[in-house]
């Protein structure tokens, strides 16, 4: 990964911040996800997961990378923390991310590690100051001579000068007509080093990764009524057996299968579903009055069955632009509705935990208490 990132000294290279956001940040997220997966491979009873403390993950950046991301260090820590919180919710674990800078310029571009219990909390993100570079020596063809600054006259010299007789110097004799006048050689011009260029503000690459919370308004302002902890996406097989469930993290959430391609990775990655597209669905919060619901866009290959309606797959692999999808590739669904991908599932169901949708329609009715002394008929 270090070979992909150009250093600031490279001629004609784009700003390092743009390159880091486009190339390094997705790789950092992948490394953090792998670290979380490895840490949760040990066998721990499910009831103990929520008792485990919040864990701190440390991302150590190379000094030039740390200096480049310093203006957005807080937003980058929050972005990485949100990503790790979503990934850690698969294991009922909470993770937060801290940034720090490696002391050596020869360090790798980034390194991820987990803070151990006996280690102190990482210091707040701070880029070490660069040592000032020595001024270049001016080459004039001879040894460099240091000018001596004369000291001021002493008090005794000043007192003697006041009582001394001042004799005016004799006037200079005029030069002869035929004498050759030798003009003094002009002093060599003093060459000063060119001023260092002022640091330019980081330019914005339209293809660079955008940090959550920087260009977008807050969720509460743009999506009223949506609660990130309210809805859950349940995944069932053809027999109705629940296989896994995921929280719906935002008002726009993509659903698909697991993939190593960061450009096609979805917010919710279903396991053991080879026929599901890497980005199959997009769930967009769209309540109707007081009734909660989502508009489901089928951006994958296989069709989606919602009740008796078949939602055609748009098979879009590039940038996700939902406005370009037609009416036959989207459908409004309410929590509890079953959505089947392809002919053999899996079956997806949005669960509204606030309304008790997780109980299911097949639960047995509660028993009615019978008084043993009541009158029996028949």
pLDDT at residue 207 tops 70: no
pLDDT at residue 343, as a whole number: 84
Radius of gyration for the alpha carbons in the chain, expressed in angstroms and rounded: 36
Who wins on pLDDT, 281 or 148?
281
Residue found under tokens 């040894």: 143
Q: How far apart are CA 79 and CA 211, in angstroms?
A: 6
Highest mean predicted confidence (pLDDT) among 133-142, 190-199, 253-262: 253-262
Q: Using one digit for the tens of pLDDT, what is the confidence trace for 286-319?
A: 999 989 999 999 999 999 999 889 999 998 887 8
Tally Cβ neighbours within 10 Å of residue 367: 6
pLDDT at residue 176 tops 80: no
Q: How far apart are CA 79 and CA 70, in angstroms?
A: 14
Percent of the chain whose pLDDT exceeds 70: 61
pLDDT at residue 153, as a whole number: 57
C-alpha pair distances (Å), 246 with each of 25, 151, 318: 24, 81, 25
pTM of the model: 0.39
What's the whole-number average pLDDT of the chain? Answer: 75
pLDDT at residue 358 tops 60: no
What are the chain's domains? 2-114 (no CATH), 222-359 (2.60.200.20)
pLDDT at residue 154, as a whole number: 59
Lowest mean pLDDT among 64-78, 166-180, 341-355: 166-180
pLDDT at residue 169 tops 90: no
C-alpha pair distances (Å), 286 with each of 289, 290, 322, 335: 9, 11, 14, 12
- Beta strand 268-270 with 252-257: parallel, antiparallel or unpaired? parallel
């Amino acid at each position: 990964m270090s070979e992909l990132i150009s250093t600031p000294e490279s001629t004609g290279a784009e700003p390092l911040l743009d390159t880091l956001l486009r190339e390094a940040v997705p790789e950092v997220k992948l490394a953090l996800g792998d670290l979380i997966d490895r840490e949760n491979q040990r066998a721990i009873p499910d009831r103990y997961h929520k008792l485990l403390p919040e864990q701190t993950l440390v991302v150590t950046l190379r000094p030039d990378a740390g200096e480049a991301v310093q203006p957005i260090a807080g937003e980058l820590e929050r972005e990485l923390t949100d990503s790790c919180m979503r990934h850690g919710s698969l294991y009922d674990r909470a993770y937060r991310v801290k940034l720090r800078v490696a002391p050596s310029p020869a360090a790798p571009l980034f390194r991820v590690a987990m803070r151990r219990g006996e280690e102190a909390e990482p210091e707040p993100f701070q880029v070490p100051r660069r040592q000032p570079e020595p001024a270049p020596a001016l080459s004039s063809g001879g040894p460099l001579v240091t000018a001596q600054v004369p000291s001021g006259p002493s008090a005794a010299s000043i007192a003697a000068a006041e009582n001394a007789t001042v004799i005016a110097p004799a006037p200079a004799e005029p030069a002869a007509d035929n004498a050759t006048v030798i003009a003094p050689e002009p002093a060599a011009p003093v060459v000063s080093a060119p001023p260092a260029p002022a640091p330019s503000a980081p330019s914005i690459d339209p293809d660079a990764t955008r940090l959550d919370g920087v260009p977008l308004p807050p969720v509460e302002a743009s999506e009223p009524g949506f609660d990130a902890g309210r809805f859950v996406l349940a995944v069932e097989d053809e027999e109705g057996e629940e296989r896994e469930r995921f929280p719906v993290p935002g008002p726009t959430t993509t659903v698909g299968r697991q993939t190593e391609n960061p450009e096609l990775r979805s917010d919710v990655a279903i396991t053991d579903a080879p026929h599901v597209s890497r980005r199959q669905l997009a769930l967009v919060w769209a309540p109707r009055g007081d009734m909660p619901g989502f508009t489901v866009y089928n951006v994958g290959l296989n069709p989606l069955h919602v009740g008796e309606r078949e939602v055609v797959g748009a098979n879009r692999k590039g940038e996700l632009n939902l406005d370009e999808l037609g009416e036959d590739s989207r459908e409004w669904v309410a929590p509890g509705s079953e959505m089947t991908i392809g002919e053999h599932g899996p079956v997806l169901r949005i669960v509204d935990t606030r309304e008790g949708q997780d109980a299911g329609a097949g639960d047995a009715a509660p028993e009615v208490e019978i008084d043993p002394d009541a009158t029996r008929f028949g």
